[in-house]
Amino acid sequence: MSPFKISWKNIWSKPLNAALNILLIAFGTGILTVLLLASTQIEDKLAKNSKDIDLVVGAKGSPLQLILSSIYYIDFPTGNIPMNEAKKLMRNPFVKRAVPLALGDNYNGVRIVGTDSNYISLYNLKTQSGKFWKADLEATIGANVAKEQNLKVGDTFFGGHGLTEMKDEHKDHAYKVVGILAPQQNVTDNLILTAIGSVWKMHGDEGESHVEGHDHSAEAAHGHDEDREYTSLLIQYRSPMAVAMFPQMVNQTTNMQAASPAQESTRLFSLIGVGVDTLQWFAVLIMLIAAISVFVNLYNSLKERSYDLAIMRTLGASKGKLFSLIILEGLILTLVGTIIGIALGHGILQLISNYQESGQAKMNGLIFIKEEFYLLAAGLVIGIVAAVIPAIQAYRSNISKILAKN
């Protein structure tokens, strides 16, 4: 009989002990897997979505809220900013590219983002079918939006007021899907992009401007411009000097605020990290308890099997073989527990993702990361450490005394 079969048979001679050991290891590994996957995906999303954005300018309020609403689309905006004031900033010598955003509507929970063509180059967007929006009420939708909302080029839909629920549907104006974005693996996969004029039109700011006979004089247009607003601006700097001077200028000389995505993302991740670290230590503690349990199980098993091991020695088994058998038993227990735990972690995260309403913060339990191999290696180390003392005792056992005693 092979060493593996002997070890496996001995492990399951006491199935309750074996199952408890495997369960403890699986529980600890499962928690660590969920934390690793979630923190890795969150960090990746934060980096991808703010990659080429140096600064966000918006209404005064919480800088973190401004970042979350304007880059990650998972919070409410801090308010609106006057378009005329925003345009002055857009023309500032420190600014290389400024992308205006107008938020406020959604379609079945998918955010409708009013913006201009600069947004396309900012995220290097491409279409997989159709074209980019040009006129008001034309919409180019993300790949996930097309799939989940069952929309295709040529379809029409009505937006609703608000950012999460269709509370006040705008039945007077229908959006027309003119294009579908190629998958970007970033925030744009879950957005509906349109012209800023579309958002203004939905909220009555520009509703009469396309009606025949409306006064289009420069004076009327200027008066109307003063009432128009953006939600925020996404800024790219022209030079490194802007990092020190531009945000300070915005915060001190205007009624707007400037927030750095890099700083706020770091702050956000540090806040999340406090809870993650606590749970990680809890999971490590569980795995240490599991290691002690495996050690006690193997130690007790060795006492009970001392006569059997002595008989194996008399039948030709070497000391090294007995040593390896005990080590193998520890490895089997921890390896099975670790594999079950990793699978459990992926399953739990995938289950959580099915109940997440926000597409931007949605986790994916089907993604595997290299850190999981470290978990597997840690499980093997725990198995070896837990089994090494019983294995040494088996190696040093005195055959003559054991046989004489029995």
Instruction: Look at 307 and 342; give whichever has higher pLDDT.
Output: 342
pLDDT number for residue 287? 74
CB count, 10 Å around CB of 200? Answer: 22
pLDDT number for residue 210? 36
The residues, any chain, with a CB within 8 Å of residue 402's CB and separated by 6 or more, are: 306, 307, 309, 310
**pLDDT (mean) for 171-198:** 90
Instruction: Return d(Cα 54, Cα 140) in angstroms, integer.
Output: 25
Instruction: Indicate the pLDDT class of residue 397, thresholds 50, 70 and 90.
Output: low
Q: What predicted TM-score, i.e. pTM, was given to this entire model?
A: 0.73
C-alpha distances in Å from residue 147, one per residue of 87, 183, 349, 352: 36, 11, 22, 20
- Which segments of 188-260 does DSSP mark as H helices, in order? 196-202, 218-225, 241-253
- Which segments of 305-318 does DSSP mark as H helices, in order? 306-314
**Are 159 and 202 in contact, with CB atoms under 8 Å apart?**
yes
**pLDDT (mean) for 368-380:** 85
Weakest-pLDDT range from 113-117, 206-210, 364-368: 206-210
pLDDT at 246 exceeding the cut of 80: yes
349: three-class secondary structure by DSSP: helix
Instruction: Return d(Cα 287, Cα 173) in angstroms, integer.
Output: 58
pLDDT number for residue 220? 37
Q: Which of 230, 245, 142, 129 is nearest to 191 (CA)?
A: 142
Instruction: Look at 221 and 204; give whichever has higher pLDDT.
Output: 204
- Going by their DSSP bridges, the two strands 156-157 and 55-59 should be labelled as unpaired
288-298 pLDDT, tens digit per residue, is 777 777 777 76
pLDDT number for residue 219? 36
C-alpha distances in Å from residue 289, one per residue of 26, 66, 173, 249, 293: 12, 44, 62, 56, 6
pLDDT number for residue 233? 94
61: three-class secondary structure by DSSP: coil
**pLDDT (mean) for 192-220:** 60
Instruction: Look at 321 and 92; give whichever has higher pLDDT.
Output: 92
- Residue 112 bridge partners (DSSP): 105, 192
Candidate ranges 3-7, 81-85, 308-312, 393-397; pick with highest mean pLDDT: 81-85
146-163 pLDDT, tens digit per residue, is 998 999 999 999 888 877
Residue for token pair 């004489």: 404
pLDDT number for residue 303? 61
C-alpha distances in Å from residue 359, one per residue of 107, 191, 276: 13, 9, 22
**Are 175 and 139 in contact, with CB atoms under 8 Å apart?**
yes
